[in-house]
């Protein structure tokens, strides 16, 4: 394998010294970039883009040509696993993802087969292989999956939701059905991420987008325990290289100690928690990723730079910080503002790494 020219991101996840704080952006490959929109139009629709390894590679590399980012992240979707399970994923304009055959009962769960990553999800593995080859060792490649709870919300609700009434009804009226679904999803995610690692991903991340809609007790019961199972089942060393794993729960700031206890290497933070508080609570156990509000990127350059400086000062000196947004970059953010953000992280972080 080609040795990495820039390994700041991997070093930071392992709490090793770096010269400047590494930075990447959630959804950095995507719809805020005009060049992405061109490729998306060429593909025809979103899933056609995801399932074409060459085009997925192209959009993964696009932001790296614009900005000095310290990592690339696979261009894909969190709903690839449920789609491969036969639920009929499609995207409706203005409404987001939907499933033709949502899960409504035990029979629906029993019928689900765990996808083979090199068969039903081979297009993802081919994309990983293609991206890794084309990166030529410039920066590491991040693989990812949705968390079992987050995947289950879409599978039971039939798409996006605001109140999550269907899955919460299942959780409280028929918990055994939901646990069977979550367990099957955890097994699927383990296979999926391990296959991404074998294909070339040098770090993996689990996105628990909807864990924050649960109570503290139910978060541990329906979300965290399944992410802990995933962490335990992942390949953590491949071809002599450590493979760090990051867990991200949106609105999960109250559970940092429990997340750190899963054995993950890093915790992703959204913007609703002060990074200084997060570091004081768990910074001796795990690295931290985050955590600027993506909406700051609408601001003037001086305001963006100030926010970057404030977060860097909040984390302070020491290792184990990967700078990121607290969630995905918004589609109408000017690309030049993203450039201001990335440059500011490198410019102002050197003083904290002496």
Q: Catalytic amino acids? A: 27, 31, 40, 77, 154
Q: 60-95: string of b/e by CB count within 10 Å (b at 16+)?
A: bbbbbeebebbbbbbbbbbbbbbbbbebebeeeeee
Distance, in Å, from the CA atom of 327 to the CA atom of 230, rounded to the nearest integer, reads 22
Q: What is the bridge-based pairing of β-strands 89-92 and 266-268?
A: unpaired
CA 262 to chain centre: 17
298 labeled binding residue? no
Distance, in Å, from the CA atom of 322 to the CA atom of 30, rounded to the nearest integer, reads 20
Biggest distance spanned by C-alpha atoms of the chain: 59
Dump the DSSP string for 5-32. Answer: S--HHHHHHTT---SS--B--TT-SSTT
Cβ partners under 8 Å of residue 61, min gap 6: 29, 72, 131, 134, 135
27 labeled binding residue? yes
CB neighbour class for 351 (10 Å; exposed up to 12, middle 13-18, buried from 19): exposed
Looking at residue 115, what DSSP letter applies? P
Contact between 246 and 13 under an 8 Å Cβ cutoff? The reply is: yes
77 labeled binding residue? yes
30 labeled binding residue? yes
Q: What phi, psi does 135 have (nearest 5°)?
A: -70, -25
179 labeled binding residue? no
Alpha helices in the chain (DSSP H): 8-13, 34-43, 46-50, 53-66, 80-82, 106-111, 122-135, 148-157, 165-173, 175-199, 216-219, 225-233, 256-260, 275-282, 301-315, 335-349
129 labeled binding residue? no
Contact between 69 and 342 under an 8 Å Cβ cutoff? The reply is: yes
Nearest residue to 348 via CA among 31, 126, 20: 20
- Extract the annotated binding site for substrate: 27-31, 77, 154, 209, 327
- Extract the annotated binding site: 27-31, 77, 154, 209, 327
């Amino acid at each position: 394998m080609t040795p990495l020219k820039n390994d700041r991101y991997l070093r930071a996840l392992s709490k090793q010294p770096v010269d400047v704080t590494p930075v990447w952006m959630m959804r950095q490959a995507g719809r805020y970039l005009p060049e992405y929109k061109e490729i998306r139009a060429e593909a025809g629709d979103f899933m056609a883009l995801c399932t074409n390894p060459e085009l997925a590679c192209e959009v993964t590399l696009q932001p790296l040509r614009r900005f000095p980012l310290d990592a690339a992240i696979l261009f894909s979707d969190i709903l690839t696993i449920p789609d491969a399970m036969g639920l009929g994923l499609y995207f409706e304009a203005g409404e987001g993802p939907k499933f033709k055959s949502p899960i409504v009962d035990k029979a629906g769960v029993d019928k689900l087969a765990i996808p083979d990553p090199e068969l039903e999800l081979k297009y993802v593995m081919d994309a990983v292989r293609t991206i890794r080859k084309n990166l030529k060792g410039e920066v590491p490649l991040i693989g990812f999956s949705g968390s079992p709870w987050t995947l289950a919300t879409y599978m039971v609700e039939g798409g996006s939701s605001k109140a999550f009434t269907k899955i919460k009804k299942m959780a409280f009226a028929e918990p055994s059905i939901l646990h069977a679904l979550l367990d099957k999803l955890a097994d699927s995610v383990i296979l999926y991420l391990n296959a991404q690692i074998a294909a070339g991903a040098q770090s993996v991340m689990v996105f628990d987008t909807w864990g924050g809609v649960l109570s503290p007790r139910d978060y541990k019961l329906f979300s965290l325990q399944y992410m802990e199972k995933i962490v335990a089942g992942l390949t953590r060393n491949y071809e002599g290289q450590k493979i760090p794993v990051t867990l991200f729960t949106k609105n999960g700031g109250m559970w940092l100690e429990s997340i750190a206890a899963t054995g993950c290497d890093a915790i992703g933070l959204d913007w609703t928690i002060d990074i200084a508080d997060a570091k004081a609570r768990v910074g001796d156990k795990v690295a931290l990723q985050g955590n600027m509000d993506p909406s700051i990127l609408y601001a003037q350059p001086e305001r963006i730079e100030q926010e970057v400086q404030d977060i860097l000062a909040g984390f302070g000196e020491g290792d184990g910080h990967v700078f990121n947004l607290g969630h995905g970059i918004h589609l109408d953010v000017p690309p030049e503002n993203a450039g201001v953000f990335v440059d500011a992280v490198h410019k102002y972080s050197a003083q904290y790494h002496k």
